[in-house]
């Protein structure tokens, strides 16, 4: 290994692409951005890159400053160590404890806003990855030539599952949270233990594996932020001139140089066609010797509609994540509580959530989505083959994948809206307690405060109206993206092009209506 860069000095002679992720990402992960598979991707098929804000001198100066990301992470670092400490030693009243109030009433809701608007903005300021990276590099912001840890690569046999690893971690963490009623919020110490567990896990991965392996593959939020964040208006760091990037012999954006580390996310700016895996860390921008990388803004939903290759791990992650949020909606209904109690008594499980119903409902929802895709494919598809359709290649050698992947990408907006709407009851009912909990740290602020008992929206009807409104906006966006995606990817391989577009948009509409009805039935349950 070259010191401090994590760059392999001897390259593999052959590369077998895994089943679920794009071959170019395998090339990048193994330090081969010049691999032929990557260069074949490097063609005029990526979406319009939009406005390059790095062209503005003041923005460029900020992005090149090595203190920039440190200063982005530092405030959150302070807050989350306060969350850990105050959760353990502070008041047991969750409404007055800063740890529970800031985490469950405010932070979780704001993260979803950032996803929808900016994409992976949270990753650029995340205290979990930031702390691990500081330890790994044993510096806060300077470019050093040594790193701490083993610097191993994630095995290809594991990395091939891509976002599915993150989804698995998110499912496990959510089940733990539900089982211990951490986000109830329950005992503030439980919130501290959960946050400390995430920080410790991240640190362990940073010390064993190279770069941001934890963030790319294992972080519980990575798949959610990456998929829902594709709705955002920040395209990430992209190449400015293809010819310059293609002829570059050093690939410093991936290997690193004296100015910047190689991309910690294994994302080659030259082939990026979405904001899926750009952590906005600025390292490729700092390292590029040709000043050929910019930070681009794009129209919202561009990274949902326009990617030239769609990934199966992303599609399955969207289906599973939708299953999880539907499970969370169902478990707020009285009939489900009775069912879960019955199931616990027959499986000798202590209490909600029963793992059988938890996994069963999530898997069942994902299976229904897959069956719908299979049904549309069987009804409307033409003969197998490979077609060139405008700006993208359509793989028809796997008929199910050729329909399932575009349909799952198309429903990303309704899935994102569902997750955001699910957070709103806690936010509207309890966010005024956040300033009370801050005041409690300094000796004022108590349960007698008017803010402690205040709500931004007091009535359940008002909260439901906002939730339904969010779902309506997400459904309309999903219908639009589904129509566009089907027009690009599915119409050219269908016997009935217009019918497949109508089917895709109707599919998104049905999902939106079902989830909106569930919010009405939940009656603003948090």
pLDDT tens sequence across 251-310: 999 999 999 998 999 988 888 888 999 999 999 999 999 999 999 999 999 999 988 789
Question: What are the φ and ψ backbone dihedral angles of 209, each rounded to 5 degrees?
Answer: -105, 165
Alpha carbon 114 to chain centroid, angstroms: 11
Place 42 in a pLDDT band, splitting at 50, 70 and 90: very low
Rounded mean pLDDT of 430-455?
A: 92
Question: Residue 174, SS3?
Answer: helix
| CA atoms 374, 378, 379, 380: torsion sign | positive
In this model, does residue 471 exceed pLDDT 60? yes
Rounded mean pLDDT of 509-522?
A: 97
- Separation CA 504–CA 376 (nearest Å): 9
Mean pLDDT of the chain: 87
Q: The tokens of 16 are what?
A: 């077998």
What pairs with residue 393 in β-bridges?
Answer: 388
- Separation CA 9–CA 251 (nearest Å): 14
Q: Render pLDDT for 480-515 as a digit per residue (tens, 0 to 9).
A: 999 999 999 998 888 888 999 999 999 999 999 999
In this model, does residue 244 exceed pLDDT 70? yes
Alpha carbon 33 to chain centroid, angstroms: 24
- pLDDT of 24 reads 39
Q: Render pLDDT for 304-350 as a digit per residue (tens, 0 to 9).
A: 998 878 999 999 999 999 999 999 999 999 898 889 889 999 999 99
Residue in 29, 237, 214, 207 with CA at minimum distance from that of residue 126: 214
- pLDDT of 273 reads 84
In this model, does residue 108 exceed pLDDT 90? no
- pLDDT of 30 reads 41
- pLDDT of 173 reads 96
DSSP string over 331-344: TTSHHHHHHHHHHH
Rounded mean pLDDT of 27-55?
A: 54
Classify each residue of 323-340 as buried b or exposed e, where b means 16 or more C-beta atoms within 10 Å of its C-beta: bbbbbbbbbbeeebeeeb
Place 27 in a pLDDT band, splitting at 50, 70 and 90: very low
Question: What are the φ and ψ backbone dihedral angles of 162, each rounded to 5 degrees?
Answer: 50, -125
- pLDDT of 6 reads 39
In this model, does residue 17 exceed pLDDT 70? no
- pLDDT of 349 reads 94
Angle CA 36–38–44, to nearest 5:
110
Rounded mean pLDDT of 34-63?
A: 68
Q: Render pLDDT for 178-223 as a digit per residue (tens, 0 to 9).
A: 999 999 889 999 999 999 999 999 999 999 999 999 999 999 999 9
C-beta of residue 120 within 8 angstroms of C-beta of residue 279: yes
Return the domain boundaries, the chain.
Answer: 23-145+152-304, 308-522
Question: Residue 52, SS3?
Answer: strand
60-69 CB contacts, 8 Å cutoff, 24+ apart: 63/282, 63/285, 63/286, 63/295, 64/259, 64/282, 64/285, 64/286, 66/141, 66/142, 66/143, 66/286, 67/141, 68/282, 69/124, 69/130, 69/141, 69/281, 69/282
* Residue 495: CB atoms within 10 Å: 11
- Separation CA 481–CA 504 (nearest Å): 9
- End-to-end Cα spacing for the chain: 50
**Distance of CA 209 to CAs 15, 203, 218, 283, Å?**
20, 10, 12, 18
- pLDDT of 342 reads 92
Classify each residue of 414-429 as buried b or exposed e, where b means 16 or more C-beta atoms within 10 Å of its C-beta: bbbbbbbbbbbbbbbb
Place 385 in a pLDDT band, splitting at 50, 70 and 90: very low
Place 48 in a pLDDT band, splitting at 50, 70 and 90: low
Q: The tokens of 379 are what?
A: 């009804």
Q: Render pLDDT for 212-237 as a digit per residue (tens, 0 to 9).
A: 999 999 999 999 999 999 999 999 99
- pLDDT of 405 reads 96
Place 458 in a pLDDT band, splitting at 50, 70 and 90: confident
Using the structure block, give the residue that is written with the tokens 């709500």. Answer: 455
In this model, does residue 116 exceed pLDDT 80? yes
- Percent share of the chain, pLDDT over 90: 71
- pLDDT of 147 reads 87
DSSP summary character for residue 263: P
Q: The tokens of 473 are what?
A: 């906006």
In this model, does residue 362 exceed pLDDT 90? yes
* Residue 91: CB atoms within 10 Å: 18
Pairing label, strands 392-395, 234-239:
unpaired
* Residue 60: CB atoms within 10 Å: 17
What kind and span of H or E run contains 395? strand 392-395
* Stretch among 215-224, 408-417, 446-455 having the lowest mean pLDDT: 446-455
Strand spans (E) along 55-141: none
Question: Residue 262, SS3?
Answer: coil
- Separation CA 250–CA 270 (nearest Å): 13
């Amino acid at each position: 290994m070259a010191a401090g860069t994590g760059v392999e000095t001897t390259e593999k002679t052959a590369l077998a692409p895994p089943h679920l992720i794009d071959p170019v990402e395998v090339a990048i992960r193994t330090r081969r951005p010049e691999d032929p598979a990557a260069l074949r991707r490097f063609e005029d098929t990526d979406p319009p890159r939009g406005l390059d804000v790095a062209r503005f001198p003041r923005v460029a100066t900020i992005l090149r400053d090595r203190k920039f990301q440190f200063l982005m992470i530092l405030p959150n670092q302070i807050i989350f160590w306060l969350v850990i400490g105050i959760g353990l030693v502070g008041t047991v009243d969750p409404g007055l404890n800063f740890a529970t109030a800031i985490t469950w009433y405010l932070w979780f809701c704001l993260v979803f806003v950032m996803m929808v608007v900016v994409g992976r903005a949270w990753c650029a300021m995340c205290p979990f990855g930031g702390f691990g990276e500081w330890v790994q590099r044993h510096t806060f912001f300077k470019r050093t030539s040594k790193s701490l840890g083993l610097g191993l690569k994630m095995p290809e046999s594991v990395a091939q599952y891509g976002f599915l690893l993150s989804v698995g971690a998110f499912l496990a963490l959510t089940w733990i949270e539900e089982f211990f009623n951490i986000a109830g919020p329950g005992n503030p110490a439980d919130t501290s233990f959960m946050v400390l567990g995430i920080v410790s896990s991240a640190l362990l991965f940073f010390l064993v594996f190279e770069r941001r392996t934890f963030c790319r593959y294992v972080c519980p939020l990575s798949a959610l932020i990456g998929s829902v964040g594709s709705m955002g208006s920040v395209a990430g760091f992209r190449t400015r001139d293809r010819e310059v990037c293609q002829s570059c012999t050093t690939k410093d954006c991936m290997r690193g140089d004296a100015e910047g580390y190689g991309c910690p996310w294994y994302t080659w700016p030259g082939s990026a066609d979405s904001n899926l895996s750009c952590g906005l860390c600025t390292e490729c921008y700092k390292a590029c010797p040709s000043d050929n990388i910019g930070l681009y803004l794009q129209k919202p939903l561009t990274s949902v509609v326009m990617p030239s290759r769609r990934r199966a791990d992303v599609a399955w992650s969207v289906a599973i994540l939708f299953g999880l949020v539907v499970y969370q909606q169902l478990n707020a209904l009285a009939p489900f509580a009775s069912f879960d109690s019955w199931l616990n008594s027959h499986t000798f499980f202590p209490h909600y959530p029963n793992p059988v119903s938890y996994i069963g409902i999530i898997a069942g929802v994902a299976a229904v989505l897959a069956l719908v895709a299979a049904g549309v494919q069987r009804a409307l598809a033409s003969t197998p083959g490979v077609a060139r359709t405008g700006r993208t290649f359509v793989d028809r050698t796997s008929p199910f994948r050729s329909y399932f992947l575009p349909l799952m990408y198309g429903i990303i907006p309704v899935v994102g809206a569902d997750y955001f709407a699910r957070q709103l009851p806690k936010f509207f009912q309890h966010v005024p307690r956040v300033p009370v909990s801050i005041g409690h740290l300094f000796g004022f602020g108590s349960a007698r405060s008017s803010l402690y008992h205040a709500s931004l929206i007091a009535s359940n009807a008002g909260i439901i109206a906002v939730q339904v409104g969010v779902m309506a906006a997400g459904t309309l966006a999903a219908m639009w993206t589904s129509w566009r995606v089907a027009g690009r990817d599915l119409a050219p391989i269908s016997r009935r092009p217009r019918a497949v577009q109508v089917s895709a948009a109707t599919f998104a509409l049905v999902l939106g209506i079902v989830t909106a009805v569930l919010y009405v039935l939940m009656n603003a349950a948090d």
